[in-house]
Every structure is written in structure tokens, then in C-alpha cells.
Structure 1
Amino acid sequence: MLTLHTLSLALLAAATFGTLALCVQLVCVLRHAWDDAPPLPSLPEPRRSGISILKPLCGVDDDLEANLECFATLGDPVYEVILGVKDTRDPAYPVALAAVARWPDVMRLEMQHGEPGLNPKVNQLITLAAAARYDVLLISDSNTRVGPGYLEEISRAFEDPSVGCVSHPVSGVGEASLGSLMDNLYLCTTAAAGQIAAKRIAGQDLVVGKSMALRREVVEGLDGFYAVRNVLAEDFVIGQWVTRRMGLRAVVAHAPVYNVSQKKSVQTFFQRYVRWSIIHHTCIPTPLYLAQSTLNPLPWALLGAALSPSAWTLGLAGAVAGVKVLHDVLVFRAMRPGLKTPWMTLPAVLLKDALLFVAWAHGLGVRSVNWRGRSLRVRAGSRLVAPAAPVHVLPRPEVHVETPRAEQLLAG
């Protein structure tokens, strides 16, 4: 019979395992930060083929103008930036027009043609890919910035003909609100740390769509972006298809991309990761989804201590909290060299983990998301299904029957 004490021990054991895993992850991130990027071999002339940067826009992200400016002066190899907007009503439209006017030799604007699927980002990518001039298609989110050598590293990776996809670790910068601080913490300490640890420990390259480069022939071999028009986690699915269907490698570059989040509210942070948890659970088996929760060990440790409170269970929960905060602070600093760590980081770690645990629990059973004003069902593999249109029942017409004069009198 399962007793509260036994359940408490199980939860504390899971939290301890997760804490040890975080320690290993921390070592991987620190080694990644200390290591130099792999040396790049010299290239014969002529120069490599160019890169088409596909940048779908939707609304005005934090500091969007500066984000676009970062991509206007990247240097070699030759490249173009194609900005995508759904229609002229989008607030990003005038920003895109201004960017094209300022950097006409680099940037172009393409308006979306049609609406073939339920994923609005992919709808734009279909249009942008058709307009691209070069053989490498680089999907780049509008809220990102990059460092020197970004395109160079991508181009060098594709010198290996076995490479079909190149992605990057994601760091978060720019926080001026608590919600954005938690957002950037998550990107550094969970998303990027997970990518780096998976690569260093298991040799597995996890694809993240913040920055994802593909050979054009690979995209065409997968029937284009049209094939994922009704998929929410299109980056995850494309990464799987590149390796499993085409037998090519999907690699993670050394340099990070920087997601700019400045003024997000706590509610916006929570809503985003509620949606992300649902997406994530539809992409992986439930046992793995359950196991991954141990990488957020503090809620499990607190539950274990609450079920069987004692000096040692409370002490263990405190130790887990200390290690988790230390892990997040050190990874946060390592992924953002040269940037200060705000004093609010410590309490933000604890609040972030509590909200992420609630979002994770929500993702256990819920299979619908609200995305950009639409309610959508999410099925296995993060496939999107629009809810059935409501059936409108017409009101039954009134039937007027002539009532005999005698019955009218009796009724009256």
C-alpha cells in the first residue's frame, strides 16, 4: 500500500535525480562557454553560395527596429533579408517599409500570398521561400539578434554535404520587466542549456526555430514549408524529417542567437509557456514528458517535504532550491557574457519555476491552444486542427392555424 511517507520519498528521490542532472548540465554549459568555436577551414574561391534570411513579422516586437538593423550589416557571405508581413494592417508593416527604405540593397518586403494552413508563421514562410534567391534558407525570428561570424559559421557548416539543417542555442537579453526576466531566464537555463547538454552528452542536436538554416534542396525534398502548414512545432518536426526521412544531419552551431525580451508581463510569460507545454507534450511520449519535469526539481522537493515534514526532508528541499538557483544564475551569466545579472534574478528563478510547473501540469491533459486570437486543437506531432464550425439551428417557423370561432371564444 502506497503511504504518504513512501510517496514523499519517491518525490524527493525524483527531485534529487533532477538536481544531479542539472549539475551535469551546468558543467556542459560552462565548458561550452569556455571553449572556442571550432576552427574554420580555409575556403577556395569562388565564395560560397548566398543565404536568404526569411524573417516573418507579426506585430511590433520589443525594439524591432534595432533587431532588424542587426541583420542589415552582417558582412560575408553574400545574403539577403526578406521581411514578411501578412497584410498592411499589421503594425509591423510600416516598420518593415522603413527598414527596406533604409537598407534597399539588403532587405526586401513580401506580402503573404493566401492562407494555406493554420500555422501563421509557416503561411508566411511559404511566401518568403518562393521569393528567396539563394540556396540556403535561414529562418530567423523577428525578435532575435546575432553576433559577428553568425552567417560565416552557418555557411561553413554546410560545406559538409551530410548537413541538412543548422540551428543555434538561444540566449535571452534585454529584460526591463519581471515577465521578460523570467522569459530570458527560461531561454538561457532551459532551452539553450538543454540544447548544449544534449549535444555534449548524447551527441544529439536539437533544432530550435529561432534560427534554423536549411538547404533549399532539403526544403524541396520535404515538399516545402507547405508540408508543415498545419503543424505548430514546425521546427521540431522539420528537424526530425531532415534526419529520419532524408538521412542528413541537423547540427547545433556554437554561437548563440539572442532573443530580445524587454517588457513582457508575467501573464504573457505564463500564457506563452502554457501553450508551449501543450505543444511539447504532443511531440514526445508521455513518460518522457513526465521524466523531463525532474529538471524543474524544486516543486517536487517541496511536495515531498510537505507530505512528510521533518528536519531532513525540509533540509533536502532547501538544498534543492539552493542548487537550482545557483544553476540558473551561473547558466544565465554564461550565456550572456558581458551582461549584468539583475538583483531580481534570484526571486525570479523561484517564481519562474513555480509558474512553469503549473504550465507543465496543464499540458498533461489539455490539447487546445489559443494562438493569435484563434482556438485550435493540437494533436500528436503538434498537428493543428481547427474546431468544427458551430451548427446554427434555424428557429422553427411559427405555424398559424385558423382556430374555429367557438374555440377562440372559449380561449378568450
Structure 2
Amino acid sequence: MSGSLPGVSIVKPLMGIDTFLEGNLESHFTLQYPKYELLLCVQDEQDPVIGLVNNLRERFPNVDCRLFIGGKDGIVNPMVHNMVPAYENAKYDLVWVSTSRIRASTPILMDLVARAVQDPTVAIVHQLPFMRNDSVHGMAAIVEKVAFGCNLGKQYLSLSQLGTHIFTGMSYLVRKPYLDKVGGLAYYGRYLAEDFCLSRDLLISGYQLVLSAFPAEQMVATASLPSYKDRMVRWWRLRLSMMPVVTLVLEPLTESLLLGAYTSWAVYYLFDVNPYCAMLVHLAVWIILDYAQLKRIQNGPLPFSFPAFLAAWWLRELLNWIVYAQGLANPRRVFWGRSTYKLQHGGLTTAVTSKPSVPM
């Protein structure tokens, strides 16, 4: 069985050190898979993460690991800029892009590979963004877990089931020859949302995107509400530049409060039902279903109580309207780390100021 498994090149961009990084990296060095290589990418030769990488390479000398320092010139997206040298030197056709916050495991890798080889038309196997329980400390981290498991989770799971395009590049396995046919990773470095654009073009070319059975095990060391809000604003502006009608018109209709307001008005107008009661029932059902879905994705106990879930759920709902307002206030500017970017229609990006300092 192990001899029939294809080789996998794991590309992991790194920048700086946080509380969970050593554990994240070590989980890649200890994978029980017969044939894989670990390609670690660092932008700056002075980055302290290099010392950690060298230590792990000494501890696990049998792991095929290479370190790439620097990037490829002419690429706007800082993470793609960092990853391209490793991607272009990958030995195997299957490339697992695993960002720095992702914790790996053998069952996850086996599932990614199994789904990739089940059908020759599968170009990408991706994971639902999620958070591991042991990285959830404080209300901000709970909000992130609830956001990924509830709001994003329901869209991700339902649209993937319907075969509709939805994809985030936090953790995914891609067939390199297929991606190279549509331009290669470097080509998509002109977009900040390179994950959306490359997956869209692969779909247009007739390939499939398949969802893994395992959510991405993200470990966030320093969660905060401002950083969460800023990330959501950045993602919203990117979606607006690429899908303005969907983002401005349809996306708000997936929010519980706006949909509840429309529903309450409709049942009052059509059936003379008290709109306040209708809204309360709507919210209660929505919250119960979200909680059930979160527990289903977790597939085990949650690291917080139901009252904490309720508080985080309401915080996310209210923060999302701040995200919409702030996103509309300056829709063509995106701030990532210490860098500022200008978005064009269709997602093309130019750097206004560029000082790479973003967590990968």
C-alpha cells in the first residue's frame, strides 16, 4: 500500500516565531508518510525562524527538508513571492500548501492524497478553515472559531456540496502540472487573493475542487478582535474587487440579522404574525443550528461553554456590520502587515508601500 502512494511536496511559508510555530513545524517533520519532502520558505535571512528550522532538521535528519530564503522578483503577493522558489523546485506532482499556522497530521495528509488520486480530474483538495481547541484562549479566539465553524462553515460546506466555487488557500493539496497549465503559482502572485483566482481558473479549465473530510487545524497564537476585524475587512475588499454583485447584494442576505428582518416583515405582511416573535424564533433556530454545526465540525467537545458561544456568536454578528461599513469606506485599499496595496477590478493588485511583515 505505502509503495503505491504518490510523493508529496509540502510548501510551508514562514515568517517570525510564535508560541505554536515549533509544534506546527514538528507536526510536519513527524508525518508517517512514505515519500514526502518539506520545503520551508523564509523571506529574510535574519529571520529567527531559521534557527528553529535548523534545529528541527538536526533532530529529524531522515526527513527530506530544504530551506528557501528570499522570493521571486516581480510578485506582488508577499506570501506567493515567498513560496514560488520552493514551489518551482518541488520534486513531486502533488504539492501541499500548508501555511505557517497549520498543524499537520498523518490522517490529514492521507485523506488529501486519497481524494486527489481518486479521480484524474481533481486538481485541488482543500480544507475548511478552522481552529484547534488548544489554540482557543480568550473571547477573541472563540469569536474566530465561531466565525470559521458557523458563518463560513455553512457556506463552505453547502457550496462545496453543490459544486459551487468556494476556496481558501490556508491549506490545500494541488496537482502541480494542472496548476502549471493555467499559468503556475507565480502567475497568480499578481493577486492578493491568489487562492480564489487560481482555483477559479482550474474550475473553468474543467478540473474539480474537492473538500477534505478534515478541517484545517489552524493554531493562532495571538488572537484579538481588532486583528480579526482587520482580516475580515481585507477579505471583504478582496471579494468586492472580484465579485462586486455577490459581495454587495447577495452576501449580506446570508447574515442572520438582515435575513431575520426580511423574514419577520414577510410573515407579518402575509400572515399577520407578530414580527418581534418571528424574529426571536428565527434567531433561536439560527443559533441552535449554528451550535450544532460547530459541534459537528469539531467532532468532539468544544473548549468553551454555551454562554461563551452565545457571546462570541453575537460579537461576530455585530462585528460583521462594522466590517461592511469599513470595507466600503475605502474599498480599493488593502492593508496587510505593514504593507498597503491598491486593488483593481478583477482583483489585480499593485503595491503602494511594501514592507513584508505578514504572518504566513
Asked if these proteins are the same fold (TM beyond 0.5), I'd say: yes
Question: 2:160 matched to which residue of 1?
Answer: 199
Structure 2 residue 283 is matched with structure 1 residue 326: no
Higher Cα Rg: structure 1 or 2? 1
Q: Which amino acid aligns with 1:124?
A: N
Contact map agreement 2:203 2:209 (CA 8 A) in 1: yes
Structure 2 residue 185 is matched with structure 1 residue 221: no
Note closer, same or farther for the CA distance 1:98–1:290 as it changes in structure 2 (3 Å cut): farther
* Cα drift, residue 304 of structure 1: 9.5
Residue correspondence of structure 1 range 18-97 to structure 2 within 5 A: 46-97=3-54
Q: Secondary structure at the match of 1:335?
A: helix
Structure 2 residue 321 is matched with structure 1 residue 354: no
Identity of aligned residues (%): 23
Structure 2: distance between partners of 1:303 and 1:268: 31
Aligned equivalent of 1:127, options 61, 77, 85: 85
Question: 1:139 matched to which residue of 2?
Answer: 97
Contact map agreement 1:85 1:124 (CA 8 A) in 2: yes
Residue correspondences, number: 342
Structure 2 residue 150 is matched with structure 1 residue 189: yes
* Cα drift, residue 229 of structure 1: 1.3
Structure 1: distance between partners of 2:141 and 2:16: 17
Question: 1:345 matched to which residue of 2?
Answer: 309
Aligned equivalent of 2:336, options 351, 354, 371: 371
* Cα drift, residue 350 of structure 1: 0.1
Question: 1:105 matched to which residue of 2?
Answer: 62
* Cα drift, residue 113 of structure 1: 3.5
Contact map agreement 1:299 1:354 (CA 8 A) in 2: no
* Cα drift, residue 292 of structure 1: 1.8
Q: Secondary structure at the match of 2:29?
A: coil
Structure 2: distance between partners of 1:263 and 1:136: 32
Contact map agreement 2:140 2:224 (CA 8 A) in 1: yes
Question: 1:210 matched to which residue of 2?
Answer: 170
Contact map agreement 2:165 2:200 (CA 8 A) in 1: no
Q: Which amino acid aligns with 1:358?
A: I
Contact map agreement 1:274 1:362 (CA 8 A) in 2: yes
Question: 2:73 matched to which residue of 1?
Answer: 115
Question: 1:266 matched to which residue of 2?
Answer: 225
Contact map agreement 1:48 1:77 (CA 8 A) in 2: yes
Question: 1:180 matched to which residue of 2?
Answer: 141
Question: 1:293 matched to which residue of 2?
Answer: 252
Cα deviation, 1:189-211, whole Å, max 9, x if unaligned, reads: 133332211132x2335322111
User: What are structure 2's unaligned runs of at least 5 residues?
Assistant: 355-360
Contact map agreement 1:52 1:132 (CA 8 A) in 2: yes
Contact map agreement 1:126 1:224 (CA 8 A) in 2: no
Residue correspondence of structure 1 range 146-185 to structure 2 within 5 A: 146-159=104-117, 160-173=119-132, 174-185=135-146
Note closer, same or farther for the CA distance 1:168–1:280 as it changes in structure 2 (3 Å cut): same
Cα deviation, 1:160-215, whole Å, max 9, x if unaligned, reads: 21111211222222210221111121111133332211132x23353221112111
Q: Which amino acid aligns with 2:136?
A: E
* Cα drift, residue 337 of structure 1: 2.0
Structure 2: distance between partners of 1:285 and 1:129: 31
Contact map agreement 1:172 1:258 (CA 8 A) in 2: yes
User: What are structure 1's unaligned runs of at least 5 residues?
Assistant: 1-42, 390-412
Q: Which runs of 4+ in 1 moved over 6 A?
A: 302-306
